Chain A
Amino acid sequence: MEALERYEPLIDDFDTFLSACERPLPSVVRVNTIKTDPDTARAALEADGIDVEPCAWHPGLYRLDTQPGANWPYYHGWLHGQEEVSVVPAAVLDPDPDDRVWDACAAPGSKTTQLSALMDDRGLLVATDNNLGRISALRSNAERLGVTNVAITREDARNHSLKPWELKQYDAALVDVPCSCEGTIRKNPDTLDEWSLEHVKGIAGSQKGILRRAVQTVREGGSVVYSTCTFAPEENEAVLDHVLAEEPCRLAEFELPLDYVPGVTEFEGKTFDESVRKAKRIYPHHNDTGGFFCAKLEVEG
């Protein structure tokens, strides 16, 4: 937990934050609307003797009193085990059926399959990852959930190629980057054991490259959602600040029916563009979830 002390200046009720970080997370499933609907899935869970507590802010998101994987609706691909707060970025991007969408860091596919469901499993969803083992997990999740509109590519997202896709730009992109994962401490209590500022700074370099590539591949007027499950401003507001300066895009306002605070414009002597306040920081004590960061960008050229 020591690594989190550096965020005390950013967080008003720091003790509440720390004690939330020490509590384990409830198990949550997202109902897969490609195969069923929230009421039917809930009835099937309850018929299996599993208590269901709906998350009020998002339909078809249920907290369970047990592990998500050993029941009939899961077998049928009606459910996907997904941390509550990780449902945020795809819901914010909210693609339309028949859109062309890029999921830049897709595996193991929680958000990819959620995007596909939001697209009504139509249009083209290109899902990229650079690791074959993780791609295998992505494939099996996508197929179990009945996804048929996804093309999976193995690439470094920073050099993503539009060549297989007629060089046409996307309508939207999701950039849920690999990060230092500080916000997952409730799920993985040892996640901070290997924490170092060098790692944070190193990974921020590739986050900037991936977000820049996403802005380049999306058409004018299209949207890019950037998210991490970490608190470090180096991986959040600083990445946005960099890409705002380098690529034709601006931060967009968006609604989110959860508790959050705005992005920060100053940390450890560094200042960031004022517009990063449009990004949202979700701390574990806000909604009894993991920690998360989410921003929406509009592409301008």
Chain B
Amino acid sequence: MTEQHDGQTFVRLPTDPAGRIYEDQPTREEVLSWWADRFAVPRDVLVDFSFWEKGRGKVWALHTDAESPVRVEGLGMSVLRTRGDHWKPTTNAAQRFGDRADENVLHLTRDQAAAFVAGEDQEIEWDGDWGYLIATHDIAGETEPLGVGLYLHGELRSQIPKGRRRNL
């Protein structure tokens, strides 16, 4: 069945582990649980989305449903990488859903935020979990997600893709 993963076709994630098309394919339930467990994003934020893979381990979220498989260039938003031991949300998903996150959220000052969106790594104290975090800062009186950082050994490593970096 893995021929369905030719990198051109979107395949809906299975609701049932028995529906997996390869051994460690994420299920819809695992995706919903991961956002809830890692970031405490309430399940109702994501429950109206359908989840899809285009290529192994590249998960997309679509705010409606469609017939699977579907051969298109894009289907909703690329939200998550599930290859490897540590799942990694995309910058865009962190910005779209991160305002509902309540755990593993690192709040930055304006100067730290500027370094973060410029792609710089910085030493910051954090007594929470290591791994992928959602970085936030305050703008216009609101706390707004900036993107994803990798926290290791006292250092926040910016994961902002080159094309999204800005010197602000």
- Measuring CB to CB, which residues of chain A are less than 8 angstroms from any residue of chain B? 35, 40-41, 43-44, 47, 70-73, 75-77, 121-124, 132, 135, 138-140, 142-144, 146-154, 164-166
A71 contacts across to B, CB distance below 8 A = 168
Q: Report the minimal beta-carbon distance from B14 to chain A, rounded to whole angstroms.
A: 20
Are A153 and B95 neighbours in the complex by a CB distance under 8 Å? no
A43 contacts across to B, CB distance below 8 A = 140-141
Q: Report the minimal beta-carbon distance from A132 to chain B, rounded to whole angstroms.
A: 8
B85 within 8 A of A: no
CB-nearest residue of chain A to B73: A152
Q: Report the minimal beta-carbon distance from A26 to chain B, rounded to whole angstroms.
A: 22
Q: Mark B130-168, 1 if CB is under 8 A from A, else 0.
A: 000000000111101010000000000000000110111
B168 contacts across to A, CB distance below 8 A = 70-72, 75
Known: A72-B139, A124-B66, A164-B66. A144 touches B164 (CB 8 A): yes
Rounded to whole angstroms, the CA-CA distance of A38 and B68 in the bound complex is 37
Which of A43, A72, A147, A154 has its CB near the most chain B CB atoms (within 10 A)? A72
B115 within 8 A of A: no
Known: A71-B168, A149-B63. A77 touches B74 (CB 8 A): no
Known: A135-B73, A140-B163, A148-B76. A124 touches B64 (CB 8 A): yes
B70 within 8 A of A: yes
B25 within 8 A of A: no
Known: A146-B92, A146-B96, A151-B62. A76 touches B76 (CB 8 A): no
Known: A40-B140, A44-B140, A70-B168. A154 touches B70 (CB 8 A): no
Are A153 and B73 neighbours in the complex by a CB distance under 8 Å? yes
Q: Report the minimal beta-carbon distance from B65 to chain A, rounded to whole angstroms.
A: 9
B71, B73, B117: the one within 8 Å of A139 (CB): B73
B49, B76, B140, B166: the one within 8 Å of A70 (CB): B166
Could you jot down 12 A-B contacts, CB within 8 Å? A40-B141, A47-B139, A73-B139, A123-B64, A135-B74, A142-B74, A146-B96, A147-B77, A150-B76, A151-B75, A152-B75, A164-B67
B61 within 8 A of A: yes
B78 within 8 A of A: yes
Q: Report the minimal beta-carbon distance from B60 to chain A, rounded to whole angstroms.
A: 9
Q: Report the minimal beta-carbon distance from A295 to chain B, rounded to whole angstroms.
A: 29
B63, B92, B139, B167: the one within 8 Å of A143 (CB): B92
Q: Report the minimal beta-carbon distance from B112 to chain A, rounded to whole angstroms.
A: 14
Known: A144-B92, A151-B62. A40 touches B142 (CB 8 A): yes
Are A164 and B63 neighbours in the complex by a CB distance under 8 Å? no
Rounded to whole angstroms, the CA-CA distance of A175 and B117 in the bound complex is 36
Are B63 and A121 neighbours in the complex by a CB distance under 8 Å? yes
Rounded to whole angstroms, the CA-CA distance of A142 and B73 in the bound complex is 13
B18 within 8 A of A: no
Are B74 and A139 neighbours in the complex by a CB distance under 8 Å? yes
B72 contacts across to A, CB distance below 8 A = 151-154, 164
B167 contacts across to A, CB distance below 8 A = 70
A123 contacts across to B, CB distance below 8 A = 64
B49 contacts across to A, CB distance below 8 A = 148
- Additional 10 contacts, C-beta under 8 A, given A135-B73, A154-B73: A43-B141, A44-B140, A75-B164, A122-B63, A139-B73, A148-B49, A149-B63, A149-B64, A151-B72, A153-B72
A152 contacts across to B, CB distance below 8 A = 72-75
B142 contacts across to A, CB distance below 8 A = 40
Rounded to whole angstroms, the CA-CA distance of A139 and B74 in the bound complex is 7
Known: A143-B78, A146-B77. A75 touches B166 (CB 8 A): yes
A154 contacts across to B, CB distance below 8 A = 72-73
Are A146 and B95 neighbours in the complex by a CB distance under 8 Å? yes
Q: Report the minimal beta-carbon distance from A159 to chain B, rounded to whole angstroms.
A: 15
CB-nearest residue of chain A to B48: A122
CB-nearest residue of chain B to A41: B140
Q: Report the minimal beta-carbon distance from B50 to chain A, rounded to whole angstroms.
A: 10
B76, B139, B164: the one within 8 Å of A149 (CB): B76
Rounded to whole angstroms, the CA-CA distance of A173 and B21 in the bound complex is 36
Which of B62, B63, B70, B140 has its CB near the most chain A CB atoms (within 10 A)? B140
B163 contacts across to A, CB distance below 8 A = 140
CB-nearest residue of chain B to A100: B64
A72 contacts across to B, CB distance below 8 A = 139, 168
